[in-house]
Amino acid sequence: MKKFQFHLQKVIDMKEKNREQVEWSYANLLNDLQDEEKKLSGLFFDKQRIESLLSMEQQKGISIVEIQQIRDYLTYIELQIKLQKEMIEQTKKKLREKKEQLKEVRIEEKIWQNFREKKLQEYLLESDRNEQKEMDELATYRSYY
């Protein structure tokens, strides 16, 4: 009896490789999101530090020019926070899209694997029939002689 060979195995292999690539891409996006969130956290820390510095310096009685410089830097940090939040939202959007793509790729791969399994079951059933047929013929042959 010959061994089962699925004639579309290369398609299944390609689907598996595609799924692995999408999973890898998804994992990279997750890492990117974590990095962006760390940057945002660092910006919030800087903002808090600068606000504390401004408060302390105002109590000491620094010049208006220095206060304005600190406030300008604080405004710059707030702008960076806003931009970082936008970057995080863009990364989350990409992550949602990649998650949907991964879902579709997994479904497609499962369809092909189910198709392969169905063909294997058909092959095994046909093999059993052929084996039974051969045994019947052998029994018939022996009963004549």
Return the beta strands (E) in 37-98 as ranges: none
pLDDT digits (tens, 9 = 90+) for 86-107: 999 999 999 999 999 999 999 9
**What's the full length of the chain, in residues?**
145
Domain boundaries, the chain: 9-144
pLDDT band at residue 80 under the 50/70/90 scheme:
very high
pLDDT digits (tens, 9 = 90+) for 6-28: 899 999 999 999 999 999 999 99
Contact between 44 and 85 under an 8 Å Cβ cutoff? The reply is no
Average of per-residue pLDDT across 60-73? 90
Query: Cβ contacts of residue 73 below 8 Å, gap of 6+?
Result: 50
**What's the CATH number of domain 9-144, 1.10.10, 1.10.940, 1.20.1060, 1.10.287?**
1.10.287
